[in-house]
Amino acid sequence: QVQLVESGGGLVQPGGSLRLSCAASGSFFRIYAMAWYRQVPGNQRELVARITGDGSTNYADSVKGRFTISRDNAKKTVYLQMNSLKPEDTAVYYCNTNQGGNNYWGQGTQVTVSS
């Protein structure tokens, strides 16, 4: 099984920045895609950003140009750099990977954007 541990959430003002981190367990980190999702209470969880094992990325339209996903395979860690944050970005952010036919999720980290 895979364990994902997230950190970096917090309270920021509109226009501010945060960097989320997700540390993964396991020996096959390099070959699997990793993703960040977010969820607002009462809403469905939505894909924010994804990065493949070879570094290809894609983003939700709502965050393009503001968020950047990256990975450090030596540290088995995926990051989400969030710039120009908006109140609409407020959500619980989850790290995700699909490995061996199973989905794995982190515990979630709260991001609140408010003045």
- pLDDT tens profile 26-74: 766 778 899 999 999 999 999 999 999 889 999 999 999 999 999 998 8
pLDDT of residue 76: 92
How many C-beta atoms surround the C-beta of residue 46 within 10 A?
12
Q: How confident is the model at residue 101 (pLDDT cuts 50, 70, 90)?
A: confident
pLDDT of residue 31: 80
pLDDT of residue 100: 80
Q: What percent of the chain has pLDDT over 70?
A: 98
